[in-house]
Structure 1
């Protein structure tokens, strides 16, 4: 990039409420890479929770809100493959269901500007070495939406491999779902816990100190299992590791 891109941070509602460290790290990282980052205060939920549980009509106003808040920006970046997947895949469907052709056109234009964090850094900024330092043994879990909906591929790993001091180890059966799946974990708790236990076992097999992923929802699920097992493995969002320099993120 020859000029500093103007970026809107879509923090996502669950990060804003429960894991604000991830959007804060995203801002620090993008500003370090030369971006001008703004946080539109009118932003709210993308509507994924409603859509996934069958409340498409209730989700439609959130699609309109997202377009109204973010359509004027050059780029929109979110530290969540899940929410970006919802915007790209579900928003067009919700606009069609609402029968609003004007909204359909606006969604199509706006969705093209929305990027998951690793996509934006690698594809738009053209960077893999972000100047991070994190001297710990780390393993990476590719979340389902980032892997299967967004097809981020190895972008997060390419970024992690350039982090100074890191000992990055492969996660066995990495592409298997962790079992969270939003309301799936509530409606199918036994299955969800069993899947989470499998994932936690694979994490422990790596000997990693830290489990990293691009979605805090999945990290909360796996981290909950690891915590109950007293494994000593902590979880961090990808943004927190990439934003780290000399100081270890809390």
Structure 2
């Protein structure tokens, strides 16, 4: 009986010495989405800078009309659907509208008489939004045009600067090209993203991650990291 009593007492002491486990606190994602954040002295709400959306597009209709030998006017209409689900309570009210300006590379390869592969990589700029309970847009058409001009001037200035030359060999194939910094991602001479051209072909936008590099849509991660290493080597010269 004494032995059993000692064991019971020892268990009680061990239990008392063990600190109680804290219950995991579920993060209120809707609150973090809507709270004010700061970027380069400017306040904003919504998704935190650096995070990503992923969408699935329905079978949409793309129409294009040739204007000059190299210039086409296009229109595209489709419903896009979130891959996954938005956190409950986050996001803007149903009925909110946005006006975006898209600047992108579109790479196309003919498969047969009627089918082509198509991929796009580029930038999109929010020019204005219209709240669900408002009749007016957040910015006038004139101000939207002003912001678009400023954006295009920034892009032109970036293109006129000397890019980082790239010279690398991967899987016994030699690549020459350039990495054009995305100026809006550059801070103190350090850039997070570059527009990549290799052997005269657009490869997309490469993004520096916490571990390695990433190009959306490119499955060969070793090749992507080889490009990233070539950028680092080029900038260190």
Same fold (TM over 0.5): no
Report the TM-score when normalising by structure 1.
Answer: 0.28
Instruction: Compare the two structures and name the one with the higher strand fraction.
Output: 2
The one of the two structures with greater contact order (alpha-carbon pairs below 8 A, sep at least 6) is 1
Greater Cα radius of gyration, structure 1 or 2: 2
Instruction: Compare the two structures and name the one with the higher helix fraction.
Output: 1
